[in-house]
Structure 1
Amino acid sequence: MTSPDFSIKPPSVEEQADALEAGRLLFAGECKFFYAAQRLDQLPEPDLPEIAFAGRSNVGKSSLINALTGHKALARASSEPGRTKQLNFFALADRLTLVDMPGYGYAKAAKEVKEDWQGLMFDFLRGRPTLRRVVLLLDARVEIKQNDVEAMKLLNRAAVIFQLVLTKCDAPKPPKLAAKLAEVEGLAKLYAAAFPVVAATSSGTGFGIPELRASLAELAL
């Protein structure tokens, strides 16, 4: 697999400010649910650039999507983690589509549910022409799980650019957060498809949310 070209010179202060404002304006636009699919033959026709959000069950995926879009309940967590299998599509300002993927790694989920998730995820990722990036969430409070590593390998095999994003970064003390960030940055270097910038966020405090918005806004129409 050919590695993506990420050799971009660091932006100036003015460029950073412009990017933050572009991200703020985009994610302040109307965001609404418009489609759900449980099988590949149910997917909506490819249209706007898509960003998919993936991660272990209870990693804070719904909370991050809500924080990015400024909604309290746009994305909702399942009452039975690990059992939701559908892909939920949200249109953002008619410029970008956000895709909320099923969570993985829930210990009590049935084997067939886990297998269905892996098959659905991989087939969607490798075959979706409008998919621009996968945001793969990792909980800053806990160690990296084997199924997180497997998800990274799956994404790498699918040749889809993915960005590692730490959630719940308000919980660890600064030294532990710095160590976790360094660990995850090291992981990103192992995969050709990994976006080089690891984002640290907190949906509760808003930490890192403007910067992530700015990064994702670069993919919009």
Structure 2
Amino acid sequence: MDQTTQLNALEAECELFASQCKDASPVKPRIAAWGLVKAGKSSLLNMLSGHASEEHFLTGDVRITRMNQTLELDDYVLVDTPGLGYDKDDTQQAEQGLDTADVVLFVHAPPGELDQEEVSLLDQLRNAYGQDVGERVVLVISQLDKLQDADLATVQGTIERQALIHLGTAPECFVISNTRFKSGVEKNKQGLCEKSGIPQLALHLKALSNNLTHSLVNARKQRQARRTQALCERIDAAIAQEIKLIAQITEPYVVKAEAFIEQLDGARRTFKTHTTDMQNARTKLDSLK
């Protein structure tokens, strides 16, 4: 990305942030599902919102969510974000969802631990929420049916260690199965629903949102202050880079101009000397008359 493109992107980001700060935020906490493409975010939000059979957040074999979508429930507002890492526009939408989220469901689909891109997202969450990151981020390992219990325990342990390293704290972690919960709902089997992990996560989010309600305005102000500082630092860095670039572009011409001025000064001194000599010679000639 060239300098002009970077400056335009930074300007657009600042304008968006300013508009977000002006908008009246909902009284209820905003809970955003965040993660890579096909991690099961939309399906999870359908299960949490009572749309196990009739989807509110569309799902499919290919990526469906390309814009942030919201759904207001009794205790909080759910935000479905596009999968990160697919393309620039999707990632930008997802990051806008993060900007206004009070809680993030960080959704990971096995097999395996968090990859480098997901680890970078954890770092981003730590910067966004500061010392509150422990209660503002909830780890969700989806698609538990794809792993044996021993493998699942290993994956969960590794992911929790990664979160501890990159978040600086150990957030709550839930292992869930959207398909198991949906099957339990459709077959009216409460035991199957309980084994999906979804009810336990729903209870945690309800308690978390109730605890956050009283401190929501102050927490949002603190998050906005951190974001403002980060943007100001990026603007200062961009200005410094622009000044450096201008200096690099103009330096050859400055050197040439300085050399040209020196030549002019030299010619002026030489001309003055020659003029003085000629005037002296003229004076001598005049004295001979």
Q: Which runs of 4+ in 1 moved over 4 A?
A: 39-44
Match of 2:179 in 1: 204
Deviations 1:12-37 (A, max 9, x none): xxxxxxxxxxxxxxxxxxxxxxxxxx
- Give me the CA root mean square deviation: 2.6
TM-score, normalised via structure 1 length: 0.68
Amino acid at match of 1:116: D
Match of 1:139 among 95, 105, 109: 109
Answer whether contact 2:114 2:162 (CA < 8 A) is retained.
Answer: no
SS of equivalent residue, structure 1 residue 219: helix
Match of 2:84 in 1: 104
Answer whether contact 1:51 1:132 (CA < 8 A) is retained.
Answer: yes
Deviations 1:68-121 (A, max 9, x none): 22213011136752x74411110002x310011111133xxxxxxx33344444
Match of 1:164 in 2: 139
Match of 2:207 in 1: 218
Please give the alpha-carbon distance, in whole angstroms, between the structure 1 residues aligned to 2:150 and 2:112: 14
SS of equivalent residue, structure 1 residue 74: coil
SS of equivalent residue, structure 1 residue 163: strand
Please give the alpha-carbon distance, in whole angstroms, between the structure 2 residues aligned to 1:101 and 1:74: 14
SS of equivalent residue, structure 2 residue 165: coil
C-alpha deviation, 1:193, in angstroms: 6.5
Please give the alpha-carbon distance, in whole angstroms, between the structure 1 residues aligned to 2:106 and 2:49: 17
SS of equivalent residue, structure 2 residue 146: coil
Match of 2:9 in 1: none
Equivalent pairs counted in the alignment come to 171
Asked if 1:116 corresponds to 2:89, the answer is yes
Match of 1:75 in 2: 57
Amino acid at match of 2:118: D
Return 5+ residue gaps in structure 1 as ranges: 1-38, 107-113
Q: Comparing both structures, which one devotes a greater share of its residues to helix? A: 2
Amino acid at match of 1:214: L
Please give the alpha-carbon distance, in whole angstroms, between the structure 2 residues aligned to 1:84 and 1:66: 13
Match of 1:53 in 2: 33
SS of equivalent residue, structure 1 residue 217: helix
